[in-house]
Amino acid sequence: MLATSDAAAEAAERTLVITRVFDAPRALVWQAWTDPDQMVRWMGPRGFCSKVLRMDARIGGSYHFYMRGPNNDDHWQVGVYREITPPERLSYTYAWADAQGRPTRPETVLTLILEEQGKQDQSDSVSSAVRLGHRARPPSRRMGSSLDRLSEYLAA
Amino acid sequence: MVQHARESGRLNATFAALADPTRRTILARLAAGEASVTELGEPFAMSLPAISKHLKVLERAGLIARGREAQWRPCRLEAGPLKDAAKWIEHYRRFWEESLDRLDQYLWELQKKEEKNARNK
């Protein structure tokens, strides 16, 4: 039951926001996200294996991913790249789809912001903070780019 | 196509209704139990017609239901649409949290391998 106004506020923003810090330079995180061979090594929940059917990582380019779940359940995702600024910003549309790449669920927008946090303490380790925003996209686009508003939201 | 357009429309009605802080406060109050329009208006420096307007938006989005009695029309929370919105977020939270766990593990292994290769050179 979603009873608190906090949870309602998150729902109101139509955006799931997750921030993670990785013990890795930003360039490595970027590659893991944009190189199909690396992406299949980690994309999807535990027990899923994935395959990149198409990945044209340039603005306006599209992708089609396949995922098999732990119960041999089949899933596909499709979307279009909207922003690619290596190694700091990546944004693409995202929808569950069928084997032919036709969306079966409402389209959403994923935005990643990567920040390198520099060397911490005395060790040589470099860490990177990744802010992931996953937004349910409103069908009307009358209020300008929802992407701009998302970046403002993520930057706040 | 039609089915997910409808689903998207429904989610958007929920989200739009939730976008206003007054309406969120009203929902939080109703989570504690039924209330009249007057009771709901108490925390706000707002006229009853203004509160009624907010209630209409919530009612249209299916987030609340109102009693039939003419004078005392108690409002109550309808959990369904809120649950759908929360479900949307939870679905993707799980997907991404678990993917990011795996990414963390992958990056760790990748760097271990690189270190080992550097040492062996």
Q: Comparing C-alpha atoms, which of A26, A18, A34 is closest to residue A127? A: A26
| Nearest beta carbon to residue B4 from set A14, A28, A106 | A106
- According to CATH, the topology of domain A13-155 is Alpha-D-Glucose-1,6-Bisphosphate; Chain A, domain 4 (3.30.530)
Find out whether the peptide bond into A87 is cis, omega within 30 degrees of 0: yes
Of A94, A93, A5, A9, which Cα lies nearest the Cα of B15?
A9
pLDDT for A13 equals: 58
Minimum Cα–Cα distance from B15: chain A residue:
A12
pLDDT band at A59 (very low <50, low <70, confident <90, very high): very high
List pLDDT tens digits, range B1-47.
Answer: 456 666 667 777 787 888 788 888 888 888 888 898 888 988 888 88
Nearest chain B alpha carbon to A126: B111
**pLDDT of A22 higher than 90:** yes
Nearest residue on chain A to B24, judged by CA atoms?
A5
Put simply, the answer to whether A11 touches B107 (Cβ < 8 Å) is no
Q: Which of residues A1 and A49 earns the better pLDDT score? A: A49
**Which of the four pLDDT bands, split at 50, 70 and 90, describes residue A135?**
confident
Chain B residues touching residue A7 (CB < 8 angstroms): 86
Q: Is residue A8 a contact partner of residue B27, using CB atoms and an 8 Å limit?
A: yes
Q: What is the DSSP string of B51-75?
A: HHHHHHHHHHTTSEEE---SS---E
Set out the domains of chain B in order of their start, with CATH numbers.
2-120 (1.10.10.10)
Mean pLDDT, rounded, of chain A: 82
Which has more pLDDT, A121 or A145? Answer: A121
- Spell out the SS3 assignment of chain A: CCCCHHHHHHHHCCEEEEEEEECCCHHHHHHHHHCHHHHCCCCCCCCCEEEEEEECCCCCCEEEEEEECCCCCEEEEEEEEEEEECCCEEEEEEEEECCCCCECCCCEEEEEEEEEEEECCCCCCEEEEEEEEEEECCCCCCCCCHHHHHHHHHHC
pLDDT at B51: 92
Amino acid A78: pLDDT: 96
Nearest CB to A5; choose among B8, B24, B83: B24
Residue B108 C-alpha, separation from nearest chain A C-alpha, in angstroms: 7
Q: How confident is the model at residue A153 (pLDDT cuts 50, 70, 90)?
A: very low
Chain A partners within 8 Å of B98 (Cβ) = 44-46
**Per the CB < 8 Å rule, is B4 touching A105?**
yes
What percent of chain A is predicted at pLDDT more than 90? Answer: 64
- pTM here is 0.70
Residue A14 CB contacts under 8 Å (≥ 6 apart), including other chains: A135, A136, A137, A138, B15
**In this complex, do B106 and A45 lie within 8 Å of one another by their Cβ atoms?**
no
Q: Is the pLDDT of residue B77 over 70?
A: yes
For B48-72, what is the mean pLDDT?
86
What confidence score (pLDDT) does residue A62 get?
96
CB contact under 8 A, A22 and B94: no
Q: Which residues on chain A are in Cβ contact (under 8 Å) with B18?
A: 8-9, 11-12
Query: Structural domain boundaries of chain A?
Result: 13-155
